[in-house]
Amino acid sequence: MKKALIIIGLIISVVLLGDILLITTKNSGIANWGGIIIPSFLAGIIINIFINSDERKKFYKIAAVSTVVTKIILFLLLVKGPTALAVLLMLIIYYGVSYLFISLGGKVLAGKKEQDSKSV
């Protein structure tokens, strides 16, 4: 149940955050990449809190794929006649960026836990 809620929250935030960032910043670059980076980073933190350490790497990949699929669906709905190369490059780049920031989000919290355990 926790896994499904994390994925649903990630998808909703990817869909909505790009529009919110575009309205507030009026910058399409920030809106495009912020809609991937911010939810991915937060998902990494949430995954680190709620998912067992054995399943984290696998779930990082699942979360990254769900982010990419959401972004590609939005792209295909908004752009008429995209080329196959553009879609392929988007898949590769978005997956890499999403996985990177999910991993970083998980490591930030893991580093904080290590500091807390050393100070005790």
Quick: pLDDT tens for 27-60: 888 888 888 898 889 888 888 888 888 888 888 8
What the block records as the tokens of 8 is 């649903």
pTM check: above 0.85: no
What are the CA-CA distances from residue 85 to residues 76, 88, 91, 92 (Å)?
A: 13, 5, 10, 11
Residue 60 to residue 33: CA distance in whole angstroms: 18
Residue 7 to residue 64: CA distance in whole angstroms: 10
Regions of the chain short of the pLDDT cut 70 = 110-120
How confident is the model at residue 94, as a pLDDT? 92
- Name every residue whose Cβ is closer than 8 Å to that of residue 41 and which is 6 or more positions away in sequence: 101, 102, 104, 105
87 φ/ψ angles, rounded to the nearest 5 degrees: -65, -40
Residue 107 to residue 66: CA distance in whole angstroms: 20
Residue 101 burial (C-beta neighbours within 10 Å; 0-12, 13-18, 19+): buried
